[in-house]
Chain A
Amino acid sequence: MENILSWISLHHEMIYIVILMIFLGVEVIGRVPAVLHTPLMSGANAIHGVVIIGAIIVMGKAENDNYVALGLGFLAVILGTLNVVGGFVVTDRMLEMFKKKR
């Protein structure tokens, strides 16, 4: 019990962030028109590509003789980049078409 409490107080920053972000995420897209559902989903998809940071850290910390970590980390970096780059480019392509007509 004491452990959990001390853990919470030690990580209260993270917990605050999580709670605030949940509300913010809901609030920020609350009034999106149906027309934008697809691009918004695609944009959100690109933003969670931030997981690439984790992949870079894994890769950058891998010891030179740890082939499993090197291989998997390398794969993770590729997949993460695919997510980020593909996500933003696809979203931009979709929105480009909207804009031309305005």
Chain B
Amino acid sequence: MGISLLTVCYLIASVTFILGLKMLSNPVTARRGNLIAAGGMILAILGTIFLYEDNGERLHNYAWIFGGIFIGGIAGAFAARKVQMTAMPEMVSLFNGMGGACAALISIVEFGRLRVRPMVSGGWTSYPPLSTLGDATDGNPHMTLGLPIADVLIIMSGLIIGSVSFAGSVIAWGKLNGRIRDVTFRGQHIFNLLLLLVVLLLAGYILFSLGKDSGNMDISQLWVAINKPMPAYIHVLFYIVFFLSVLYGVCFVLPIGGADMPVVISLLNSFTGVAAACGGFLYDNKAMLTGGILVGAAGTLLTILMCKAMNRSLKNVLIGSFGSTAAGAAGGVKEQGVYKEISLSDAAMILSYARKVMIVPGYGLAVAQAQHACHELEKLLTEKGVDVKYAIHPVAGRMPGHMNVLLAEADVSYDNLLEMEQANEQFPTTDVAIVLGANDVVNPAAKSDPASPIYGMPILEAELARTCIVNKRSMKPGYAGIENELFFRPKTSMLFGDAKKVLQDLLSEIKNI
């Protein structure tokens, strides 16, 4: 009864995951979708706690389970509530890392619990209970002892994928909040590839040597006949694999630039999904399997979609050739023309006497957390009769769609946000385009210069506006490491400084007019 009820719980949970994900991809139903998936998750968790049986044996250690859920729940809810909207991406990354670590820990514990048991035809779903192991062998001398090799394989996969996801996510988190810098050295990719190869070879060796010990080298045997406990060196090797997987996760993410982190997080997200699915295999648990594989597949597609929005290939992001080769190819200094600066009061004057102003927010605005000041500026100008709109590039901010979230947080009306195509139609009739901390997404070279590394990327055509005011902290090239000729155009003037500070100063100037 209990067990069949649990099966139903898992069935409902799986359906809510699918439904939730479906609804999350539509703006109208997204929030409800998230809540439905959360409801399914609660059902699955409670069902597992109270109904799960392993060969007729209920779970115990309830105090520990509830203690863990309590601590994790409070900490998770608190962190998620308190986090700044701009820090959202790194928060997601951190939570993803926790999931990966959870999967890796499950593998470690389950590996430690692997015992030789009587070989049963069929595989890992039909274990006799461990407690009867002694009787079974004593009473039946013909029964061969063995290790379920498929279990070992799945445990190893969960361990490797989970640890890579954990370590990678933590590094991504550190990079997004600026604690960790990009580290690159010559031959890094070769090193990473070798490291991965070593991890896989070691994991293969563990499987192989378990087989060899029994004189049965055929890995395709799903049970390995073995007549003694697992040798100690196997455990040592297992921990080495764990350690190297963590190291690989670190080395995998370290060379990738901060602006590419969203893609990496999305990729690691799908990794964790697969790691969770490994747990589903191990426990023959359909909810874990569906949830994990679903996220694994959707996450992979989402990663590709994100790359497409940036007009890059996944390979390009992961190999990270963008930053390094681009600087060399574009020659950096080649085009260092003259740019002109504009004073705050002049900028204030131009803005308040314009008819139509287009705000182009970018990464710099997100970093400076200037979205509220930006909204203030919009309100003030609107009061003065200026038509103010926002031009949102699909990859503006720190993550695709992030800018929309940020501006929504600052109460910017959804109607004032123009998508790229709409915005580009309106730039020619715009008096002032004010670019706040965006660079590559307004670089005309993407349209005109086939040699440019960002050639072909869709851009916001801010250069078509009558005047263009660009706010940046310095003349340093943007993420792609290339000069932006927009800054040297006669129509363009530069307004240097931190986006938030500049906007606040601009506000008081405009008020004084």
Report which A residues bind B (CB closer than 8 A).
Answer: 1, 3-4, 6-7, 10-11, 14, 17-18, 21-26, 28-62, 64, 68-70, 72-102
Contact = CB atoms under 8 A, between A and B. Distances in A.
Contacts of A10: 122-123, 125
B30 interface: yes
Contact of B76 (A36, A75, A82): A82
Contacts of B22: 28-29
Question: Could you tell me the dominant secondary structure of chain A's interface residues?
Answer: helix
Contacts of B262: 37-38, 41
SS class, residues of chain B in contact with chain A: helix
Given A4-B222, A50-B291, 19 more contacts: A7-B222, A14-B284, A22-B296, A25-B296, A25-B297, A25-B299, A38-B89, A40-B21, A41-B266, A46-B95, A61-B54, A72-B105, A73-B61, A74-B64, A79-B72, A81-B72, A90-B92, A94-B405, A98-B414
B444 interface: no
Contacts of A69: 109, 112-113
Contacts of B296: 22, 25, 48
19 contacts: A17-B293, A35-B404, A38-B400, A40-B24, A41-B265, A43-B33, A44-B24, A48-B269, A48-B296, A59-B64, A61-B113, A73-B61, A76-B105, A81-B71, A81-B76, A82-B98, A83-B98, A87-B80, A90-B83
Interface in B70-108: 71-73, 75-77, 79-81, 83, 85, 88-89, 91-92, 94-96, 98-99, 101-103, 105-106, 108
B512 to A, nearest CB: 31
B221 A82 contact: no
A37 to B, nearest CB: 4
A37 B20 contact: no
Interface in B19-50: 20-22, 24-28, 30-31, 33-35, 37-38, 41, 44-45, 48-49
Given A43-B33, A43-B37, A48 B404 contact: no
Given A46-B37, A50-B17, A89-B76, A73 B400 contact: no
Output the residue of B61, B266, B270, B302 with the most chain A CB within 10 A: B61
Interface residues of B, number: 122
A83 to B, nearest CB: 4
A4 B273 CA distance: 25
